[in-house]
Amino acid sequence: MTTLASARRGLRVGPFSVAFRPRVLLVLFIAVAVTLGLAIISLGIGDFRVSPARVVEILLGAGDRRERLVILGIRLPRILLAIVVGIALAISGAIVQTIARNGLASPDLLGVTSGAGAGAVAVIVLGSVTGENVANGAAVGILRTLGVPAAALIGGFAAAALVAIVLRLTGAQGLRPILVGVGVSAFFGGLTSWMLVAASIDDAAQANAWLTGSLGGRSWPEVATVGLVTLAVVVVLVPVSSSLPSLELGTDVARALGVRVRVSTTLLLAAAVVLAAISSSAVGPIGFVALVAPHLARLATAAPRAPLGVSAAVGAFVVLASDLVARTVAAPILLPTGAITAVVGAPFLIWLLVRSRKDLVV
């Protein structure tokens, strides 16, 4: 039987040392390679087809004006956004599941995504120039100034704060966090429905298109916004993520091991909320990715918890593959990417629910 010591390897550079598992690195390498290969294939698929080899040549600077416009100007932003959104959602889900010590915990099921959606819809609908049912000009001005990303962040943090307050009053045992998250999601879902009813037809149509979770029509500004925020959060997470293995053992054990539990938990959960909210602000709600990707990463690596790097790579692949299916399965009709992830994620959630209680709740 392989012991924990033999399953790990170490790397030391000067005073710094890092422990790693060879299987985790192997799975990470395979996931990254498969995702990059799928990205190249996706870039060539569409009404204007391009072979993978030609796609690589265009990415390296070759190609005529038409090829560069289609590959670099239209498809590449969508592909990169799918990858970045998948990374952000998967890391967010892995953090939440580890800290909550619950395999069902994810930003989707805890209401964070619904809160971010309500904030974004508020900007799209109530802050629109064409809004006909808003009398308070100051409120409209504030919403326009915030913009969709900032409003989504505010909505996501509001939902997370509401869940935290309720759990502090009622306790967080068993499946209670999930039930509270369902209630918070319903609350913000009701607010979203109210705003859609109060909106003009054009604004409601725009908001509904956003709520389906689609990567269509996205361009470089969205890629830059989500990419830079995700990169900044990952940089912050690097030193803090070392406390995740201890936090998974419980707050008392983590405190005994010298972890500053409150500071670490606050920073990690804040990072998870930011990642989920910024992703929703760019493409709308892409459900179940934050739930599924960490589980797949954990199963593939046989690790006690989902490694953040592998989760990120798996999340990128899941969103990228779902978007490719959305673009091709009903062509020329383009389906929302969120619809594909829901079709795959809902059965996965049911499978988790029917598993033994021991696997779901610690």
Q: Determine the pLDDT at residue 132.
A: 45
- Distance between CA atoms of residues 317 and 305, nearest Å: 19
Q: Determine the pLDDT at residue 361.
A: 45
Count of C-beta atoms within a 10 Å radius of residue 51: 11
- Distance between CA atoms of residues 208 and 232, nearest Å: 30
Q: Determine the pLDDT at residue 9.
A: 58
- Distance between CA atoms of residues 108 and 89, nearest Å: 10
Total-model pTM? 0.86
H or E stretch at 19: strand 16-20
Q: Determine the pLDDT at residue 211.
A: 83
Q: Determine the pLDDT at residue 289.
A: 93
Q: Determine the pLDDT at residue 240.
A: 84
Helix, strand or coil for residue 97? helix
| Category of 105 on φ-ψ map: left (φ > 0), alpha (ψ -120 to 50) or beta | beta
Tokens representing residue 170 in the block:
């009622």
- Which backbone phi and psi does 12 adopt, to 5 degrees? -120, 130
pLDDT tens digits in sequence order for the chain, 362 residues long: 334 433 555 555 444 445 567 888 899 999 999 999 999 999 999 888 999 999 999 999 887 889 899 999 999 999 999 999 999 999 999 998 888 777 778 888 888 888 988 888 888 887 654 444 444 455 555 555 567 778 888 888 899 889 888 888 876 666 677 788 888 999 998 999 888 888 888 888 888 877 888 888 788 888 998 999 999 999 988 888 888 878 777 777 778 877 787 888 888 888 998 999 889 888 888 988 999 999 999 989 988 888 899 999 999 999 999 999 998 887 777 888 988 998 888 888 888 777 655 444 44
Superfamily of domain 21-360 in the CATH hierarchy = ABC transporter involved in vitamin B12 uptake, BtuC (1.10.3470.10)
- Distance between CA atoms of residues 139 and 158, nearest Å: 18
Domain boundaries, the chain: 21-360
Residue with tokens 């416009």: 69
Q: Determine the pLDDT at residue 17.
A: 47
